[in-house]
Amino acid sequence: MDLKVDLEWGDEGVIPETIHPDTAFIFEKMGDVIQEMVAPDIGEMVLDIGCGRAIDALALAKRGARAIGLDPSGRMIREAKNHINNSDIHLVRGIGEALPFKKRSLDKIICKGALDHFVDMPKTMADMSQSLKPGGSAIIAIANFESLSCHLGRSWFPVVKMFYRQQDGIHPWIPPADHNYKFDCPMLKQTVACDFDIEKIRGMSLLWTAPYWGKFLSLLPRRVSSVILASLDRIARWLPSLSDVIIVKITPKGA
């Protein structure tokens, strides 16, 4: 497989044009969970790999971390500079397969929704492990393409298309063209296994972007949809293999 790094990748297609309650919930919840799992101490060095607009790096800096955002895309580094607005965050253009940091120099690493864009998983994991200090940890969040939502989408859409003349196109249960890997729970565990021990794994959200689910939630009072989404998220926490997002906290082997 010929995998390449997109050095001018943009995030235009990441957030859909219409934000239904399930999408709003998962974007907000994912950021909150990441911040809780990182829980940086004042002055800790925290790297955000695939930082995009540096939204998470900025949140970490506000909690007292010395935050670094790394991204291979020149476009996203420029967007991040505009977003952080001269905050005390260091931005680095680079790739996860060759982290430009000394060994044992980072306290924490996060990688949210970016790992499936990478080219060399073994090299990425090895570099992350070697860059962490003893006692350090990494938190990875990744979309699960074997979630309940994806299974429903792949099962229902052919039937719906026959009766309602739905057009083929971009669907959330199919990995986008810019993804080099299609992750699920077993693959994520296998990816980190050589270099890391899993300290914690949890799922987040159920039914995100399942066919017509977001539109249905939009018809409900906001309080009702919020209760439904929060309840499904509590179930997903214990069912990562079926959840929409899998979040894992890992520590280097032998640490």
- Quick check: 117 and 124 in contact, CB under 8 A? no
Three-class SS state of 1: coil
Domain 21-252 has CATH 3.30.530.20: no
- Quick check: 137 and 201 in contact, CB under 8 A? no
The gap from C-alpha 255 to its chain's centroid, in whole angstroms, comes to 25
Q: Where are the domains of the chain?
A: 21-252
pLDDT per residue over 145-199, tens digit each? 999 999 988 887 666 555 545 555 566 777 877 888 899 999 999 999 999 999 9
Picking from 67, 49, 58, the residue whose alpha carbon sits closest to that of residue 5 is: 49
Give the sign of the dihedral formed by CA 172, CA 196, CA 129, CA 108. Answer: positive
Residues 150, 160: Cα–Cα separation, whole Å: 15
Which long-range contacts does 189-195 make (Cβ < 8 Å, 24+ apart)? 189/248, 191/115, 191/121, 191/125, 192/125, 192/140, 192/248, 192/250, 194/122, 194/125, 194/126, 194/253, 195/125, 195/126, 195/128, 195/129, 195/252, 195/253
pLDDT surpassing 80 at residue 10:
no
Rounded to the nearest integer, the mean pLDDT of the chain is: 89
pLDDT at 13: 66
pLDDT surpassing 80 at residue 108:
yes
Residues 73, 244: Cα–Cα separation, whole Å: 26
